[in-house]
Amino acid sequence: MQNSLKRRDRRGVAVVEAALFLPLLFLLVFGMVEYGWAFLKFECINNAAREGVRAAVRDGATDAVWQAAVDTVMRDCGKTPGTPPPSTTRTLSPGVDSPRGTQLTCTVTVNYSDLDLLNVSLFPVPTTLTASATMNKEGS
């Protein structure tokens, strides 16, 4: 008789422990998923900036060429630039018509709200993700 009373009391403790632990576990798992997603998308944006500047530094490059390179990588990452709202910003400085040896910098910025996976505001996330890449202009 005494043994069954102890077992019944332990079941109540297990329920209380689970009620305290499971919300923390779910918060931790969702946070890992959200931040993993953010790092994945940041790498996509970084690749887009790198491909944009690689296209821009070639001899005879045009604005359309480097912008298409950025758009291709962004599309492959699941983000179509220019779709409403226009959240992808691409810039190249100083420009494709710069002289040989000039450092060109391609910068790509995307609003994080257009990329977020869980759409949960429990975690501190950036408002934008920005990546840039710099290379020297080629040419004869």
Q: Is the pTM of this model over 0.85?
A: no
pLDDT at 84: 44
More confident residue, 13 or 136: 136
For the chain, domain boundaries: 2-136
Determine the Cα–Cα distance for residues 93 and 98; give it in Å rounded to an integer.
Answer: 9
**Residue 125, pLDDT above cutoff 90:** no
How confident is the model over 127-140, as a mean pLDDT?
92
